Structure 1
């Protein structure tokens, strides 16, 4: 994807719709323990620095899952809608929530040091530990 493209998604019950501009079709796979608990396995997410547009915002619940981030979900059906940094400068959206048919491709795996041993992906991707992920964000905080 060379230019920003709008992607859309809707929760299971239709109470919440989301629109987000994406620069790439890259999917990051997060193996952190929180994502495992939240999604029942690794979280497959597309990321954006641009704010999203929500319809049905009154149906959105937000949970502060850490000092630095929060997770949004539909209060009616429980669909996971987004993960965002508390400063609002980074969003991650479950790839399954967004438009079907996009040419998604796994670009990286993060928190590889928290990945359970019962699965592995065949994709040859960069793999970052939790410390490496935090170092990346710390380095870009001044940008």
Structure 2
């Protein structure tokens, strides 16, 4: 049975701090075009709920799709999270976590959009863009 874990972290300058809950925390990597433009490589994240933030005035949010927004610190530019609005799930940038021990890469999404110049060595579950949209995108009217 998955165990809930409380996670904490902060941006590079410390203007934004957060606390959130992850059920059985694992790292996922997204290779989609938007994530690669946003982070200059795959976006490594841990999915969380119950996220609370200190320093909200330093958070800039950008609505990147019909169902999600991305956020960064307006002071230092650190990528903070990808937020699925309807489910209120936050995919927190793993590099911001105070404690990264015990985490492992378990999933790679948009694997069919990964450029050929890098390969991640870990054996993980993978999902193509079509599989991601089928599993997570809200139904269109």
What's the TM-score once normalised by structure 2's chain length?
A: 0.91
Shift of 1:14: 1.0
- 1:45 equivalent in structure 2: 45
3-state SS, counterpart of residue 78 of structure 1: coil
- 2:23 equivalent in structure 1: 23
What's the TM-score once normalised by structure 1's chain length?
A: 0.90
Structure 1 residue ranges (4+ consecutive) displaced by more than 6 angstroms after TM superposition: none
Checking the alignment, whether the CA contact within 8 Å between 2:25 and 2:47 is kept in structure 1 is no
Aligned residues: 139
Shift of 1:86: 2.5
Cα-to-partner distance string for 1:114-143 (whole Å, 9 max, x where unaligned):
10001111211111101101111158x8xx
3-state SS, counterpart of residue 109 of structure 1: strand
CA distance, structure 1, for counterparts of residue 2 and residue 100 of structure 2: 18
Cα-to-partner distance string for 1:28-66 (whole Å, 9 max, x where unaligned):
110001000000100111112x23100011111100111
Q: Which has the higher strand share?
A: 2
CA distance, structure 2, for counterparts of residue 14 and residue 122 of structure 1: 32
CA distance, structure 1, for counterparts of residue 17 and residue 38 of structure 2: 20
- 1:11 equivalent in structure 2: 11
Shift of 1:106: 0.7
Equivalent positions of 1:91-106 (< 5 A) are 91-106=90-105
CA distance, structure 2, for counterparts of residue 73 and residue 88 of structure 1: 20
Q: CA RMSD in A?
A: 1.7
3-state SS, counterpart of residue 130 of structure 2: helix
CA distance, structure 1, for counterparts of residue 137 and residue 66 of structure 2: 14
